[in-house]
Chain A
Amino acid sequence: DQQVKQNSPSLSVQEGRISILNCDYTNSMFDYFLWYKKYPAEGPTFLISISSIKDKNEDGRFTVFLNKSAKHLSLHIVPSQPGDSAVYFCAATGNTDKLIFGTGTRLQVFP
C-alpha cells in the first residue's frame, strides 16, 4: 500500500522553463511534507518542506504547494537549470516520526 505516490517516473524540461513535480498521498494523518533531491550514488539532499498548516512555502527558485483537500502537493522549480537534473523524492510524516517516501521522479533539464 503506497501511501505516498509520485505517478510520473520522469519529466523533461527545457532550461529556463518551469518544472512541476507532483505528489499524492493517502494518509490524512500526514502533517509535514518534504522534498529531497538525489544524485546517483549519493544520499538524498533536503530541498524544502511544508507544514500542513500552510498551503505554500518558497525558498529561492523552489516553491512547494499543498492542497490538503486533494491530498496533493507539488514542487515548482523556476527557472529550471541543468544542475537541477536529478531524482526528486516527495516524503511525508505524521503521527509517527519516520518518513514515508514516494518512488521518485527523474527530472532532466536540457539546454
Chain B
Amino acid sequence: DTGVSQDPRHKITKRGQNVTFRCDPISEHNRLYWYRQTLGQGPEFLTYFQNEAQLEKSRLLSDRFSAERPKGSFSTLEIQRTEQGDSAMYLCASSSFLSGDQETQYFGPGTRLLVL
C-alpha cells in the first residue's frame, strides 16, 4: 500500500514561468486536498476535490492558480506567471470521505517551489 505521492519533490523556476505539480492520492480515496505551507506557518488550505468535482477554492488561490482532477484519481496544480511570493511547500492530502463520518487527511511529501 502506497501513500500519497507528489511529483516533483523540488522545483526551481524563474519568475514569470509556469509550473505544474502532480499528486497521486491513496488508492480508493475520493477526496483530494491541496495546501500551501510557508516558513514558520502551518499548512493553509487552497482547494479540494471530491472525485472529479472541485468543491471549494480558498481566497488564497488567485487566478494564476488552477487545479484539476480529471478522472477522479490524480490531480495537478498549475501556477501561471509565477511570482517570488509563490515560493512555498505545496502539500497534497487525500481522504476517504463517507457522509456523516469524520475524515482523516493523509499528506504526501510535498513539492518545494522556489521562484527566483
Which residues of A pack against B, CB within 8 Å? 4, 31-32, 34, 36, 41-46, 49, 51, 89, 91, 96-104
Given known contacts A36-B107, A49-B104, A97-B48, what 20 new A-B pairs fall within 8 Å (CB)?
A31-B102, A32-B102, A34-B104, A34-B105, A41-B109, A41-B112, A43-B4, A43-B107, A43-B108, A43-B109, A46-B105, A46-B107, A89-B43, A97-B31, A97-B56, A98-B45, A98-B48, A99-B93, A103-B40, A104-B41
Q: Which residues of A contact B97 (CB under 8 A)?
A: 97
CB pair A103–B42 under 8 Å, yes or no, is yes
CB pair A51–B42 under 8 Å, yes or no, is no
Q: Which residues of B contact A43 (CB under 8 A)?
A: 4, 6, 91, 93, 107-110
19 CB-based A-B contacts, threshold 8 Å: A31-B102, A34-B104, A36-B107, A41-B112, A43-B4, A43-B6, A43-B93, A43-B107, A43-B108, A44-B91, A46-B104, A46-B107, A49-B102, A89-B42, A97-B48, A98-B33, A98-B48, A98-B56, A103-B41
* Interchain CA distance A41-B108 in the complex, whole Å: 11
How distant is A23 from chain B, measured CB to nearest CB, in Å? 11
Q: Which residue of B lies closest to A96 (CB)?
A: B56
B28 CB–A CB distance under 8 Å: no
How distant is B34 from chain A, measured CB to nearest CB, in Å? 10
Q: Which residues of B contact A32 (CB under 8 A)?
A: 102
| Cβ-neighbour of A99 out of B6, B40, B105, B109 (below 8 A) | B105
Q: Which residues of B contact A41 (CB under 8 A)?
A: 109-110, 112
* Interchain CA distance A43-B105 in the complex, whole Å: 12
B106 CB–A CB distance under 8 Å: yes
* Interchain CA distance A42-B108 in the complex, whole Å: 8
Among A36, A45, A103, max chain B CB count under 10 A is at: A36
Q: Which residue of B lies closest to A52 (CB)?
A: B102
* Interchain CA distance A46-B4 in the complex, whole Å: 12
